[in-house]
Chain A
Amino acid sequence: MVPALALTVDGMREVGASAQGGRFIVLFDPNRLIAAIARSGDRAAFAALFDHFAPRVKGLLMRGGAPAELAEEVAQETLLTVWRKAALFDPAKASASTWIATIARNLRIDIARREIRSRLSQVYEILDEEAPEQPDAMLSGAERDARVRAAMTQLSPDQYRVVELAFIEGFSHQDVADRLAIPLGTVKSRLRLALSHLRGRLEDLR
């Protein structure tokens, strides 16, 4: 059974914002929206999904240093891909956010490296089809993602910042150290602590 992603921090924010606007209260449930698109090409569901995710994909890319124009294009293409591939989304494998983040990553590579006809996004797709075979796969992707999300909120601001730099901006440890003006050893230990904290939260499930 896949729990609806109700009442994540973002869900709460949406509830607050729309209540303030005095219109209606919605629990944002991306899995249900994606299912509605898959089932019947539901354009209202698509609009809701777009309103939530497109500005976040754009924000994530710009946070990583992409120019606004590229970030906008990747965000548009990402949501179009969600529309086209809605029926392929498997909530047992990953949360909607993780699925959409990987689509955005692949499209950023395709679009940024268009002139050289990069094939790297195909490599990610081939790996994505390789199913994990161990019993650990019984830990559903949605459950894993919820754990990771919870663990992320427990990181110290310092740890969160190095994770963000390493993941969003793709900085090497040395780049992160230069950027934050802290020693390389500190970057490595913060990241190691952050990752072991995340893994610790996942170990309980095995």
Chain B
Amino acid sequence: MSIGHRPSDETLTAFAAGQLDEGLALVVACHIEADQESRRRLRELEAVQGALLDAVEPIPMASGPNPPATAARAEPGPAAAVPMSETGMPKVLHPYGLGPWRPIGIRIAMRRVEVPGAGARVFMLRAGPGIALPHHKHTGVEWTTILAGAYEHEYGRYAAGDFDEADTEHDHTPCVDPVEGCTCIVAMTGSVQLQGWLGRLLQPLVRF
């Protein structure tokens, strides 16, 4: 897997600080899971937080240390088993509920990812080879991680593991790979105006 598109420093910093909206954070996490380089950057940014923790002005605690008398301490061992789910799904999606795939047109389907309390709407999109995804404009951001296949638009080709960080400035029409098709996970904030017949079909689903 050769990854060419990664989150900006601003986005990865906010992710490392735990300050991103949960929906947006989940899509970033899907990319990080697939990309060693972004994992390495994340570790570095976490190290910066460790250094800030060392340097910060301490504030006295209201109550002192109080370890439970009989607290069971964790033993090193195999990491908690992650429940099995569909193969090829990012592990970071395991804690979340997924809706059923619903066809929303010819050779295009969508499934909702349930992220309670998130400001962004999160969904997966699967499109057959050669399809042009609906042309749309929106008022917020639209972040996408490609899970399988690829698409292409004026900013380049995005293949499995790539992260596409689009803001309001972008107004694009991704074209799905003519051979592999494309499955991706998307988080959107703001409202979306979809255009064309496919847009009208998609609209009620995006709005949830």
In the complex, which of the residues B49, B67, B95 contacts A102, with contact meaning CB atoms closer than 8 Å?
B49
> In the assembled complex, which residues on chain B have CB atoms less than 8 Å from the CB atom of A50?
64-65
How far apart sit A81 and B178, CA to CA, in the bound complex (Å)? Answer: 50
> In the assembled complex, which residues on chain B have CB atoms less than 8 Å from the CB atom of A43?
67
In the complex, which of the residues A47, A84, A166, A173 contacts B17, with contact meaning CB atoms closer than 8 Å?
A166
A181 interface contact, C-beta 8 A: no
CB 8 Å contact bits of B13-24 with A (1 = contact, 0 = none): 110111100100
Contact A168 B17 (CB under 8 A): yes
Shortest CB-to-CB span from A10 to chain B, Å, is 5
Contact B59 A98 (CB under 8 A): no
Tally of chain A residues near chain B (CB < 8 A)? 85
CB 8 Å contact bits of A171-204 with B (1 = contact, 0 = none): 0110000000000000000011001001100100
> In the assembled complex, which residues on chain A have CB atoms less than 8 Å from the CB atom of B57?
59, 63
User: Provided the pairs A87-B76, A173-B10, A198-B44 are in contact, do residues A117 and B56 lie with their beta carbons within 8 angstroms?
Assistant: no
**Which residues of A (53-90) have their CB < 8 Å from a CB of B?**
53-60, 62-63, 68, 71-72, 75-76, 79-80, 83-88
How far apart sit A84 and B56, CA to CA, in the bound complex (Å)? Answer: 25
How far apart sit A59 and B95, CA to CA, in the bound complex (Å)? Answer: 31
Please name the residue on chain A nearest to B32 by beta carbon.
A127
Please name the residue on chain A nearest to B114 by beta carbon.
A119
Please name the residue on chain A nearest to B40 by beta carbon.
A132
Contact B26 A123 (CB under 8 A): yes
User: Provided the pairs A55-B60, A198-B44 are in contact, do residues A132 and B36 lie with their beta carbons within 8 angstroms?
Assistant: yes
User: Provided the pairs A54-B61, A55-B58 are in contact, do residues A98 and B50 lie with their beta carbons within 8 angstroms?
Assistant: yes
User: Provided the pairs A101-B53, A148-B51, A152-B51 are in contact, do residues A106 and B18 lie with their beta carbons within 8 angstroms?
Assistant: yes
Please name the residue on chain B nearest to A129 by beta carbon.
B79
> In the assembled complex, which residues on chain A have CB atoms less than 8 Å from the CB atom of B13?
166-167, 191
Shortest CB-to-CB span from B45 to chain A, Å, is 8
User: Provided the pairs A75-B61, A145-B47 are in contact, do residues A123 and B25 lie with their beta carbons within 8 angstroms?
Assistant: yes
Contact B117 A124 (CB under 8 A): no
> In the assembled complex, which residues on chain A have CB atoms less than 8 Å from the CB atom of B68?
80
Contact A55 B54 (CB under 8 A): no
Contact B17 A141 (CB under 8 A): no
Contact A118 B65 (CB under 8 A): no
Please name the residue on chain B nearest to A149 by beta carbon.
B51
A38 interface contact, C-beta 8 A: yes
In the complex, which of the residues A38, A99, A118 contacts B116, with contact meaning CB atoms closer than 8 Å?
A118
A1 interface contact, C-beta 8 A: no
CB 8 Å contact bits of B37-51 with A (1 = contact, 0 = none): 001101111111111
**Which residues of B (75-103) have their CB < 8 Å from a CB of A?**
75-76, 79, 82, 91-92, 94-96
Contact B67 A46 (CB under 8 A): yes
How far apart sit A104 and B45, CA to CA, in the bound complex (Å)? Answer: 15
Contact B53 A47 (CB under 8 A): no
B interface residue numbers (CB < 8 A to A):
9-10, 13-14, 16-19, 22, 25-26, 29, 32-33, 36, 39-40, 42-68, 71-76, 79, 82, 91-92, 94-96, 115-117
Ordered by A's residue number, 29 sampled pairs between the chains whose C-beta atoms are within 8 Å are A8-B54, A9-B55, A10-B54, A41-B71, A41-B73, A57-B53, A60-B53, A60-B56, A63-B56, A75-B61, A80-B68, A87-B74, A87-B75, A98-B46, A98-B50, A99-B50, A101-B49, A117-B116, A119-B22, A120-B26, A123-B25, A126-B91, A127-B33, A127-B92, A144-B43, A144-B47, A152-B48, A191-B9, A198-B48
